Amino acid sequence: MTSQLNVIELGNPILRQRAEPVKNIKDESIQKLIDELMVTVIQADGVGIAAPQVARSHRLFIMASRPNPRYPKAPYMEPTAIINPKIIGHSSETAKDWEGCLSVPGIRGLVPRYQTIEVEYCDIPKGDARSDRNGKLQKLELTDFVARIFQHEFDHLEGKVFLDRVESTLDLITEAEYQKLMGIGD
């Protein structure tokens, strides 16, 4: 059975380390980690999770945007494993929007991010048997919310958290105030 992993929080030095590239995607421990991250992000109502957040310093994250109580307006996408990602281009425009993080519970911040990014990564085609989980190189353009998730998770691989990106401490609010602001629970 695939189990949920413990998410480490701000203050744990692993969150501040630069993660190491994944050398062998087929490695059993990497495959198991991907399965467990997918379960963990859904159960935690996240839209993404990076390996360093479960104390595994690999360049690997999951994007799993879907509407949930923490992000009611999130677009739906199939959970995708993003391995050894690169941001190879970006728009000049940035946009600010609210972000939260499973490793920074209780806080939301207004974070500026590039509106459009061009990315490259290896993924694992969905539905493939575990033994065929070979990395396939993907190159694509992402915009808006999905681009935001990618940049947030990519930062985790660089040892950064969203708090490092806010322009002012005035752009930080509590989760309870965020819920009020969004009109959630009315």
Task: List the catalytic residue out of 28, 99, 153, 177.
Answer: 153
Cβ proximity to Zn ion: between 113 and 133 the closer is 113
28 is catalytic: no
Q: What are phi and psi of 153, to 5 degrees?
A: -70, -35
Under the binding rule (CB under 5 A), the answer on residue 101 touching Zn ion is yes
Distances (CA, A) of 28 to 14, 52, 106: 22, 18, 34
Distances (CA, A) of 50 to 55, 92, 103, 116: 9, 26, 10, 20
Cβ proximity to Zn ion: between 74 and 135 the closer is 74
Cβ proximity to Zn ion: between 101 and 122 the closer is 101
Q: 10 Å Cβ neighbour count for 77?
A: 14
Under the binding rule (CB under 5 A), the answer on residue 19 touching Zn ion is no
- Site mask, Zn ion, residues 113-152, x = CB under 5 A? ----------------------------------------
Count the site residues for Zn ion by CB under 5 A: 1
Q: Is 167 exposed, middle or buried (0-12, 13-18, 19+ CB in 10 A)?
A: exposed
From 63-71, 77-85, 96-104, 166-174, span contacting Zn ion (CB under 5 A): 96-104
From 5-13, 97-105, 106-114, 137-145, span contacting Zn ion (CB under 5 A): 97-105
Given its phi and psi angles, is residue 106 left (phi above 0), alpha (psi -120 to 50 degrees) or beta? left
From 12-20, 62-70, 74-82, 93-101, span contacting Zn ion (CB under 5 A): 93-101
Amino acid (one-letter) located at 8? I
* Binding stretches for Zn ion (CB under 5 A): 101
Active-site residue set: 153
